[in-house]
Amino acid sequence: MFTMPRKLMLTLVLSLFFALPCFAHSYPLSEAYIGGVGPNCTLGYVKSIYGEPKSKRWFNTDGVRGVAYYYSPSYQVTGRTWTKNAIPEDEFPVVGYTVKANNLSTPSGITVGVPYSTVEKMYGPGQRYVEKGKVKYLYDLPGQRAIVFTINKKGIITDIYLGTDF
């Protein structure tokens, strides 16, 4: 039979167990913007900041249509919508980007060339995985989005990627 101190201890342990996920680290959506571009922006907005892209690549598969804007070998922005959605290109929502140079940063100053430990100190550890021999750290974001930091052997960020499952 439980005595009062054992019941109290059990209650405290169970409370902590269920409360711990509330203290889990998370990456805020507001930090998924880089160089002023991120979720909830449109391709028209991107063009208002950076001008016309140097090149574009269109795609239309699996019920979605979209376009990737290539501003340089180190900066790409992707917009996408459902195939049945007849909106013009400028209204496509931004669903991703890839940054491989240190000329653009997040609102808190995270950029290519910064140690990944800086991100980890601010937002906790990401989900580590290896893809094609490269170490990456993924942070889930709302709306089936994720931001991924690729690092080199010294723990320095070499590229930043935002993408979605949709």
Half-sphere exposure of 43 (CA within 13 A, CB side): 24
- Per-residue pLDDT at 26: 75
20 belongs to a structural domain: no
What is the CATH number for 72?
Answer: 2.60.460
118 belongs to a structural domain: yes
Model confidence band, residue 27 (pLDDT cutoffs 50, 70, 90): confident
- Per-residue pLDDT at 7: 54
Q: Are the C-beta atoms of 95 and 78 separated by less than 8 Å? A: yes
152 belongs to a structural domain: yes
127 belongs to a structural domain: yes
- pLDDT surpassing 60 at residue 31: yes
Number of structural domains (the chain) is: 1
1 belongs to a structural domain: no
- Per-residue pLDDT at 3: 52
Q: Are the C-beta atoms of 135 and 125 separated by less than 8 Å? A: no
> 40-94, pLDDT tens digit by residue?
899 999 999 999 999 999 999 889 999 999 999 999 999 999 999 999 999 999 9
10 belongs to a structural domain: no
> 102-142, pLDDT tens digit by residue?
999 999 999 999 999 999 999 999 999 999 999 999 999 98
Domain hosting 144: range is 25-164
Residue 3 backbone dihedrals phi, psi, to 5 degrees: -95, 170
86 belongs to a structural domain: yes
56 belongs to a structural domain: yes
